[in-house]
Structure 1
Amino acid sequence: MNPSPPRLAQDQDFVETHFVVVDFEGTTPTGHPPEPIEVAALGVQHVPGRGPVPSGFAFMSFISPPAHAPLTSADTAQTGITQADLSGAPPARTVLRRLDEVLPEDPVLLVAHHAPVEANILYAYRTACPRLARTRIVDTRLLAKHLLPDLPAYSLDALLAHHGIPQPPRRHRAMDDGMVTAELFHRLLTAAARPRAITSLTDLVRLASRTPRAVQPIQLELS
């Protein structure tokens, strides 16, 4: 009789990893990449018999956007964030340096939904947050596409509805979106564990993350 495949919860690398869900809210200035106006980070770790649950690590801050990317009425309509909220807030470089400094000890992996948004912001500010910029981000959107290939849509709202996860009270606020992303991550890993579709941290990283740009080799152009 062939032995059954190992379970994800038995993989020591997975058990020891501190996952940190990260979410940005931002402005979208014409002709420029998005600039963050709020960030939240929420720690998640595996607990035997409970799966990945909040670890107690949490970080949240408003961020003052640069002059070329001011808060607009459309941004406020979507997020509920007002100019008064941002008054006196530190710039992104200061906030992300602070988050980089308080990030849990390794091994750490980041988690985000549609991770290129978070990855691009972290890369843009990589000199202020080198550790964050070099840390892989597990993308719950990629994970869902692997585990649930027949869904019609993979937006956060669509996946929350599919899993019966209630909309957060303040959708499009960083901590609220981070909390439901953490719950979605939990549900997806539970779904992966039942047929043992993912049995190790190596599988999870291979299937649902990409190498951060900050650790990719620089391509030199020939003149």
Structure 2
Amino acid sequence: MTQDADFLATTFVVIDFEATTPTGYPAQPVEVAALALRYRDSAWTAVGRSTSLIRPPAFAPVTPAFTDQTGLTAEQLKLAPTPADALGALDRRFRTNRRYLLVAQHAATEANLIHNQRQHCPTLARIDLLDTIPLAKHLIPGLPNYRLDTLLAHFSIQRPADRHRAYTDVDITAQVFIRLISTADDNGRVADHAQLVKLAGRTAKCNMPTQTDLFDIDD
């Protein structure tokens, strides 16, 4: 697969958000990190990195449970950039003439967060995603589950102390993704880029066709 022209032409951007989950509202991002990877000369190369805290809206306060999990406090986030500033800065790093895929563990979470913030990151919101979970299920069947910690253990990747921070989770998700691609190359269970996308791809919501009315109703 790593010799496939479409694979070699793609920049894989591993992305992760931390978010609050306010009652009655969609999840609100409070941290984002991204790591851009290209496969060149038989090796992976990091070609870009971005990380930022994001100030949550008043209706999405930081809870003690969230602080216990991430270490992030309300005081830290009070001084963070707004979603427009943080996500706008990330969005401007993408080039319209390049081919990208976002890579995430349980990509539905990132897909929803990005779509709900699409006014701040219109370019990012139109990039399709690749989910490491279905890829792992295909390549290494039989694991008890396919959570990130389980995949770390399977690949003997040390679980970092600051797990559940976006910048850390991006790094370990990237390590898992690279190991999965290596496994695919070794066992031949994914032939090329097209099969990779068919197995683990997720269309960005902004790229999905808008459903029209099923019936035309005349007044």
Q: TM exceeds 0.5? A: yes
2:2 to 6, 9, 13: 9
Contact 1:26 1:36 in 2 (8 A): yes
- 8 Å Cα contact 1:53-1:186 kept in structure 2: no
Q: TM-score, normalised by structure 1?
A: 0.91
What is the alpha-carbon distance in structure 1 between the residues aligned to residue 8 and residue 210 of structure 2?
Answer: 33
Q: Check conservation: 1:14, 1:200, Cα contact below 8 A.
A: yes
Deviation track 1:47-100 (CA, whole Å, cap 9, x = no partner) reads 3233x3423x01010001111111111110000111222122122222111111
- Measured against aligned partners, the alpha-carbon deviations of 1:19-70 in whole angstroms (never above 9, x if no partner) come to 11000001011122211100000111113233x3423x01010001111111
Are residues 1:38 and 2:35 paired?
no
Partner of 2:196: 204
Distance 2:161 2:102 in 1: 24
Aligned counterpart for 1:134 among listed residues 113, 126, 129: 126
Query: In the alignment, which of 185, 192, 207 is matched to residue 215 of structure 1?
Result: 207
CA RMSD of aligned residues (A): 1.4
Alignment match, 1:69: 60
TM-score (norm. length: structure 2):
0.93
- 1:38–1:60 contact (8 Å) kept in structure 2: yes
Q: 1:197: Cα distance to partner? A: 1.3
The equivalent of 1:98 in structure 2 is 89
Structure 1 gap segments, 5+ residues each: 1-7
Say which of 60, 63, 68 aligns to 2:51: 60
Structure 1 residue 108: Cα displacement: 1.1
Q: Is the 8 A contact 1:9 1:48 kept in 2?
A: no
1:26 aligns with 2:19: yes
For these two proteins, the number of residue pairs brought into alignment is 214
Q: Secondary structure at the match of 2:153?
A: helix
- Matched residue of 1:14: which SS? helix
